[in-house]
């Protein structure tokens, strides 16, 4: 890629690469901030499991091996693996009187020791610890995929002041100030490139793997990694309002909000463990009292029941699904505010879209010029562009841009210019009085004209009281909109509605292009809130998708609010339940797909865990399963649930093609 360096910038930049000074070292520290937590090694657990198996094999192949020696080995392995269990159990009982999985395992292994089943006691402790270590690795990696967003927070900014550069904290940079960003550093604040050209990596922010080229005048986001060139960026927001800080708040909030199923099983585990202990006590004591067998026999079966009933699989297997799903979503530029949002989005049946900036690009472009009889089209465009030379309305900007693209120059305005709010402008251009604006403005000015067109994208033009024609501009529909709507239909969305403050003519045209049958136009923000509230009462799972402009209230009112683009307003990103880092509709499909996938995997784990455990419990009480089957069943069930979550999300989830309506 061609690199264009501004001399004043290049002279201040040190050599690229590490080892060239403190500034570069600071850059490296910024990139490598918040390293992932170091994983505990697996080899001690694997070695203990191997030692256990060796002792068992030796006992089988060497019948003459002293039992005392073998039992001493089992006891040593139990002490190594069991003491941490006992510490955790005592801590649970002392701190809150909670009967958790540590208490279950400790009681079960102690009972096995008292019954002389040293091998079984050691097996329970060793394989439980091995299973815990494997679970911890899976959970940590799922968590790291989410918290990776928190590791890119820039901690230094190079402020340009009076020809010199000094290092400051990003919080000290004020809007309007300029910062220098070298290759290998992250953009410290949201801003606009004022000097230089470079390629940025937005991988952590939006999930986009390809570098994005930026140059003077382009907007950049805090947290983006500068790859190639030296640039100067003018801050447009304080650091506290930058997109990367908002993202961090969203991620931290997501980690605190549990899903409905997750909350249920968290509460269930508190009741479940005491219930299981009570059932085990009944199994151990009642049959001997009824003369159905010895206390040792039924006590052993009760211990088997305790081991099988350990709730680890539920405690780990359910949250891991949410963490993996949110990790995959974050990597693809979709931020969920917790598992509860995923649960709600999985039930979506109705999707409500804002129009401008959501289904459309939010940027007007010339569609056509309709001159009156005897007038040329280029004349109509010229009069409109010159009259609206100073107007700030997006429609006026589109008219001016179209005129410039055709080689026109905006001059001749002598200063007598008046804007009529909500109507248009009246201006003196080259000594002639030009009226450019809506149909209502022409009526106000008493100018006769052809058929009335009350479309917000039409500029009616009159010169010296004579109607000369109209200029039509349009807010083009997003290229991916039709494909996204088709993909949502395949995902089970039965109803699509458009709510907009635009005119009926404008929304009718967009709705027709996208085959949307339900829409309402001319709505104020409070009207949108009422309409969404009505839809929420009618159906379960109403999602509102907006671009963040005046959408905060309606985003909060929907069952799930989705805000497009991290550059949206702070109020919108705080009110929304899902934030799309890219200004693209593809994220809506990705969010629904991931939520639906998470729900499927979640219930797969629930059925798998409860089914296997109930079967083993019955077998244990009936004497068909012993301690070995119990420990293998408990650890195995947990690992199966973990592997199922990893399979569904950790090993990749193929994107569904939605471009072009595929």
DSSP code, position 38: P
CA dist 631 and 53 (Å) reads 14
CA distance 457 to 216: 30
Cβ(226)–Cβ(185) below 8 Å: yes
Sorted by sequence, the CB contacts under 8 Å of residue 309 that are 6+ apart come out as 104, 272, 276, 280, 613, 617
What backbone torsions phi and psi does residue 268 show, to the nearest 5 degrees? -60, -40
Closest CA to 547 of 564, 532, 562, 526: 564
Residue 100 is among the residues annotated as catalytic for this protein:
no
Angle between helices 586-621 and 627-645 (to 10 degrees): 170
C-beta separation of 165 from 146 below 8 A = no
DSSP 276-314: HHHHHHHHHHHHHHTTSS-HHHHHHHHHHHHHHT-THHH
CA distance 246 to 251: 9
* Active-site pick, 354, 502, 551, 634: 354
Are residues 428 and 422 in contact, defined by beta-carbon separation less than 8 angstroms? no
**Dmax of the chain from CA atoms?**
118
* 3 state SS of 206: helix
Q: From the CB of residue 167, how many other CB atoms can be counted at a distance below 10 Å? A: 12
Cα 646-648-653 angle, rounded to 5 deg: 115
Q: Cβ distance 436 to 387 under 8 Å? A: yes
Question: What own/partner pairs with CB < 8 Å and gap ≥ 24 does 31-35 have?
Answer: 31/184, 31/185, 31/186, 31/225, 33/151, 33/152, 33/153, 33/155, 34/147, 34/150, 34/151, 34/153, 35/151
Alpha-helix residue ranges (DSSP H) falling in 394-539: 394-405, 439-444, 481-490, 504-514, 525-538
Angle between helices 312-331 and 586-621 (to 10 degrees): 170
Cα–Cα distances (Å) from 636 to 43, 81, 107, 628, in that order, read 19, 18, 20, 12
Which residues are known to be catalytic?
Answer: 354
């Amino acid at each position: 890629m061609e690199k264009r360096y501004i001399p004043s910038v290049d002279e201040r930049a040190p050599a690229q690469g590490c080892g060239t000074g403190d500034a570069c070292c600071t850059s490296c520290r910024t990139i490598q901030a918040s390293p992932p937590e170091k994983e505990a090694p697996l080899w001690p657990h694997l070695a203990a499991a191997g030692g256990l198996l060796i002792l068992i094999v030796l006992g089988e192949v060497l019948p003459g091996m002293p039992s005392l020696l073998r039992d001493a080995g089992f006891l040593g392995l139990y002490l190594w693996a069991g003491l941490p269990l006992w510490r955790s159990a005592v801590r649970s009982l002392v701190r809150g009187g909670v009967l958790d999985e540590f208490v279950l395992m400790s009681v079960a292994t102690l009972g096995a020791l008292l019954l002389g089943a040293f091998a079984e006691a050691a097996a329970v402790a060793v394989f439980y610890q091995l299973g815990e270590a494997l679970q911890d690795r899976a959970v940590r990696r799922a968590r790291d995929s989410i918290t990776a967003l928190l590791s890119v927070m820039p901690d230094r900014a190079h402020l340009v002041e009076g020809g010199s550069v000094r290092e400051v904290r990003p919080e000290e940079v004020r809007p309007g100030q300029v910062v220098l960003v070298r290759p290998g550093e992250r953009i410290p604040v949201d801003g606009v490139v004022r000097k230089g050209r470079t390629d940025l990596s937005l991988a952590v922010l939006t999930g986009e793997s390809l570098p994005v080229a930026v140059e003077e005048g382009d907007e950049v986001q805090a947290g983006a990694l500068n790859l190639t060139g030296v640039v100067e960026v003018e801050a447009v927001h304080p650091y506290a309002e930058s997109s990367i800080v908002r993202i961090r708040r969203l991620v931290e909030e997501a980690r605190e909000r549990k899903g409905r199923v997750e909350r249920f099983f968290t509460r269930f585990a508190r009741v479940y463990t005491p219930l299981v202990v009570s059932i085990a006590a009944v199994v151990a004591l009642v049959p001997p009292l009824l003369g159905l067998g010895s206390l040792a026999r039924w006590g052993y079966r009760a211990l088997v029941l305790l081991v099988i009933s350990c709730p680890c699989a539920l405690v780990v297997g359910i949250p891991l699904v949410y963490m993996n799903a949110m990790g995959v979503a974050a990597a693809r530029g979709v931020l969920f505010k917790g598992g509860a949002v995923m649960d709600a989005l999985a039930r979506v049946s109705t999707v409500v879209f804002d129009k401008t900036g959501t289904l459309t690009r939010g940027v007007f472009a010339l569609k056509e010029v309709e001159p009156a009889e005897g007038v040329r089209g280029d004349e109509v465009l010229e009069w409109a562009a010159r009259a609206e030379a100073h107007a700030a309305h997006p429609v006026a900007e589109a008219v001016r841009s179209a005129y410039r693209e055709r080689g026109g120059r905006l001059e001749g305005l002598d200063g007598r210019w008046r804007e009529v709010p909500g109507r248009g402008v009246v201006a003196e251009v080259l000594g002639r009085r030009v009226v450019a604006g809506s149909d209502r403005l022409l009526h106000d000015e008493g100018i006769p004209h052809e058929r009335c067109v009350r479309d917000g994208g039409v500029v009616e033009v009159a010169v010296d009281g004579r109607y000369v024609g109209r200029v039509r501009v349009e807010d083009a529909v997003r290229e991916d909109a039709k494909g996204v709507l088709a993909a949502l239909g395949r995902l089970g969305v039965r109803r699509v509605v458009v709510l907009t403050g635009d005119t009926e003519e404008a929304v009718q045209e967009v709705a027709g292009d996208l085959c949307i049958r339900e829409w309402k136009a001319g709505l104020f923000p409070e009207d949108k809130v009422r309409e969404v509230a009505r839809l929420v009462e009618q159906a379960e799972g109403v999602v509102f998708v907006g671009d963040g402009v005046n959408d905060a209230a309606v985003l909060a009112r929907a069952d799930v609010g989705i805000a497009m683009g991290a550059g949206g307003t702070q109020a919108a990103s705080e009110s929304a339940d899902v934030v799309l880092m890219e200004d693209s509709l593809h994220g809506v499909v990705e969010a629904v797909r991931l939520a639906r996938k998470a729900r499927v995997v979640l219930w797969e784990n629930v059925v798998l865990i409860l089914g296997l455990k109930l079967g083993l419990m019955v077998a244990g009480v009936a004497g068909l399963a012993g301690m070995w089957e119990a420990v293998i069943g408990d650890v195995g069930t947990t690992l199966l649930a973990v592997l199922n979550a990893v399979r569904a999300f950790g090993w990749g989830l193929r994107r569904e093609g939605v471009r072009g309506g595929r």
